[in-house]
């Protein structure tokens, strides 16, 4: 039985994570954390997530419940996730991190915990997106230097605060790496005015925000006369929640290190078996 605590339990993903843990016979919700000043403190986590009473009270601090869980699942904000990594490092806990929007400095701080904390960090916990990374690398290898321009288009709900999405950036790296390109120099995040013709190397990102879109990503390989589009559409956040719970179980057998969802799903092995790789 994996004992799981959820950080940011009142958030869109927080509630989905409570549902995902509750729906998994091998997992048990043993903690749920909201803001220290939240009016929800003391309420039942299951009731908050529409799961009925689970007997787990929402609390305002991770330190309060740190002895009660094996794995913390954290889909919140970069600053809070880094604070939680520090607490988990001190108490020998594992983490599944779904938070996106880290800057370079925050990413290197996160990396610093790889020697002391077993954690899975992935901008997207769905099986489909993680499989598509392999498809994208294969397509990029075949097409990227053969006259195909690469563009990435992502769409999300109106509440999303970071752009481009973590998934779009992850897909960008999946196509850039096999082509020897770097998103720092080849990524184009904005086009406006007299921008001139497109260069062959650039990887363009376009962001759509509106309504309740759960998460849609398309990588477009466009040549003269034809184009290929690889698209993933998430229709329920439960997909991310179930992926995170799967990662939590997997982490129970891992030593300290920074892992991703491709490790959890065994897709790195599949990639290295690819004769094209
Ligand atoms: N990896 C994946 O598969 C997925 C990742 N995500 C990512 O997960 C993150 C959360 O998304 P979402 O659930 O939609 O966002 P929400 O804003 O709905 O949820 C975030 C939660 O974290 C809490 N929180 C944030 N900062 C703090 C803080 N400093 N102290 C205490 N609580 C804090 C918020 O509290 P409050 O409401 O009080 O502000 C909120 O409850 C985003 O980075 C998103 O991109 C989302 C879906 C899938
Ligand atoms: O904020 C979201 O909602 C999502 N964020 C993740 C991202 O930034 O890629 C994953 C998913 O697309 C939903």
Q: What is the DSSP string of 126-178?
A: -HHHHHHHHHHHHHHHHHTTTT-EEEEEEEE-TT--SSS-HHHHHHHHHHHGG
Known catalytic membership, residue 160: yes
55 is in an annotated binding site: no
The residue count for the chain: 277
Q: Is residue 200 part of a domain?
A: yes
Residue 270: per-residue pLDDT: 62
Domain membership of residue 276 (yes or no) is no
Q: Is 157 annotated as a binding residue?
A: yes
Instruction: Give a yes or no: residue 274 inside a domain.
Output: no
Asked whether residue 273 is assigned to any structural domain, the reply reads no
Pocket lined around ligand 1, Cβ cut-off 6 Å: 8, 10-14, 35, 75-77, 79-80, 98-101, 122-125, 166, 240
Asked if residue 219 is part of any domain, the answer here is yes
pLDDT by residue for the chain (277 residues), tens only, comes to 999 999 999 999 999 999 999 999 999 999 999 999 999 999 999 999 999 999 999 999 999 999 999 999 999 999 999 999 999 999 999 999 999 999 999 999 999 999 999 999 999 999 999 999 999 999 999 999 999 999 999 999 999 999 999 999 999 999 999 999 999 999 999 999 999 999 999 999 999 999 999 999 999 999 999 999 999 999 999 999 999 999 999 999 999 999 999 999 999 866 555 555 4
Q: Which ligand is nearest to the CA of 168?
A: 2
- Looking up residue 117, the CATH number of its domain turns out to be 3.40.50.720
pTM, entire model: 0.96
Do 183 and 243 fall into the same domain? no
The pLDDT, as a whole number, for residue 36 is 97
> Around 174, how many Cα atoms within 13 Å sit in the side-chain half-sphere?
24
Taking the CA of 73 as reference, the closest ligand is: 1
Write out the residue range of the structural domain in which residue 193 sits.
127-234
**228 and 241 in a common domain:** no
- Counting ligand 2 atoms within 8 A of each CB, the residue from 16, 123, 132 with the most, and so the one to mutate, is 123
Any idea what the CATH number is for the domain that residue 134 is in?
Answer: 3.30.360.10
As for the ipTM of the complex, it is 0.98
Q: How far is the CA of 12 from the centre of ligand 2 (A)?
A: 11
């Amino acid at each position: 039985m994996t004992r799981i605590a959820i950080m940011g339990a009142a958030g869109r993903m927080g509630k989905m994570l409570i549902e995902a843990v509750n729906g998994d016979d091998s997992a048990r919700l043993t903690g749920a954390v909201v803001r220290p000043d939240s009016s929800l403190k003391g309420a039942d986590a299951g009731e908050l997530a529409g799961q009925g009473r689970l007997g787990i009270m929402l609390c305002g601090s991770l330190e309060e419940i740190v002895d009660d869980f094996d794995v913390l699942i954290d889909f919140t904000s970069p600053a809070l996730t880094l604070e939680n990594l520090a607490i988990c490092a001190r108490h020998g806990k594992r983490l599944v991190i779904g938070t996106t929007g880290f800057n370079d400095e925050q990413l290197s701080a996160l990396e610093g915990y790889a020697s002391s904390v077993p954690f899975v960090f992935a901008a997207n916990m769905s099986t489909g997106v993680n499989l598509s990374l392999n498809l994208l690398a294969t397509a990029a290898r075949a097409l990227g230097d053969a006259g195909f321009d690469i563009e990435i288009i992502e769409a999300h709900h109106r509440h999303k605060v970071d752009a481009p999405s973590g998934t779009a950036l992850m897909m960008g790296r999946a196509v850039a790496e096999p082509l020897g390109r770097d998103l720092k120099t080849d990524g184009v995040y904005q086009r406006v005015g007299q921008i001139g013709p497109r260069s062959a190397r650039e990887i363009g990102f376009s962001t759509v925000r509106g309504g309740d879109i759960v998460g849609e990503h398309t990588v477009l390989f466009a040549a003269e006369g034809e184009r290929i589009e690889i698209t993933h559409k998430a229709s329920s956040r439960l997909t991310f929640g179930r992926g995170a719970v799967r990662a939590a179980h997997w982490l129970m057998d891992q030593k300290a290190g920074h892992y991703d969802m491709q490790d959890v799903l065994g897709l790195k092995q599949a990639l290295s078996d690819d004769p094209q790789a």
